[in-house]
Amino acid sequence: MSTLLARLKANLDSVQQRMEAARGRSSLAADAVQLLAVTKYVPLEAVEALAELGITHVGESRPQQLLERAAWRPDLHWHLIGHLQRNKVRAVLPQIELIHSVDSVRLLKRIDEIAAELALRPRVLLEVNVSGETVKDGFEPGSLREAWPEILQCQHLELAGCMTMAPHHASAENLRAVFRNLRALRDELQSHPASPPLPELSMGMSDDFEVAIEEGATIVRLGSVLFENCDL
Ligand SMILES: *Cc1c(COP(=O)(O)O)cnc(C)c1O
């Protein structure tokens, strides 16, 4: 086994144990939490190594890099976790497993329109700026509530849930509150009579994934914790 593969495997084993322990402290069923490996900072050899270790879901934050890599490894499931410009929707939709980062009604409507044209039914998550940090992309909770009836009119996509990023350097209580609030907002939106089920909560990154799982995350997006000591 190469050094990269061995180190990556050690990291992956440890992360999966930590995920399972956190899952045990949550109300989630076994296997309810998906690991999304975020590969935006690592070279292709690291993606190869992940795939060799059985990781099939990978996330990129830049549409251009996602497209290049998805063309190279179409067998993997590619997730977009960063901002999507409206003029990239047409190129991205056919390649994508899940878009985590839909941050406006305009973008959602564009996705719906292109999906109809291409006869696709993309799965999407709505990104919510729960903490109210001005630098963050995403819907404000209030504007998402307000836009909900309009959002439900999009017929050519599958609304699957919500995504958030916790603020950097948040205190432990603040962090937990962000994840709990996203879950509560999801529950509230889902209770609207015309809503589809919204099973997915994409929340938790390298520094906070255990708290996110305790609060109900179904997808954790992990980058740096997977690649520690890998010399990439
Ligand atoms: C980069 C990124 C991650 C992974 O971050 P790490 O802290 O390296 O785990 C997760 N989600 C989004 C949206 C990102 O941009």
- Atom number of ligand 1 nearest to Cα 101: 13
Give the pTM. 0.97
Instruction: Measure 225 CA to ligand 1 centroid, in angstroms.
Output: 10
> What is the DSSP track for 205-223?
-TTTHHHHHHTT-SEEEES
Instruction: Report CA-CA distances (Å) from 68 to 77, 91, 151.
Output: 13, 11, 30
Looking only at the bridges linking them, the beta strands covering 123-127 and 200-202 are: unpaired
What was the pLDDT predicted at 99? 98
Per-block average pLDDT, block size 10, for the chain (232 residues)? 93 98 96 97 97 98 98 98 97 98 98 98 97 83 97 98 92 93 98 97 97 98 97 90
Distance CA 39, CA 50 (A): 10
Residue whose CB lies within 8 A of the most ligand 1 atoms, among 34, 50, 61, 228, for a mutation test: 61
Domain total of the chain:
1
End-to-end CA distance of the chain: give it in Å, rounded. 17
CATH code for position 104: 3.20.20.10
CA distance 44 to 110: 31
pLDDT at position 144 is 97
Tell me, what DSSP letter sits at residue 9? H
User: Hey, whose CA ends up nearest to atom 10 of ligand 1?
Assistant: 221
For 55, the domain range is: 3-227
Distance 178 CA to ligand 1 centre (A): 16
Q: How much is the pLDDT for 136?
A: 75
- Ligand 1 center to 223 CA (angstroms): 6
Residue 197 belongs to some domain of the structure: yes
Identify any residues that bridge with 60 across adjacent strands, giving them in sequence order: 80
Distance 64 CA to ligand 1 centre (A): 17
Kindly state whether residue 232 falls inside one of the protein's structural domains: no
Task: Look at residue 132 in the predicted model and tell me its pLDDT.
Answer: 80
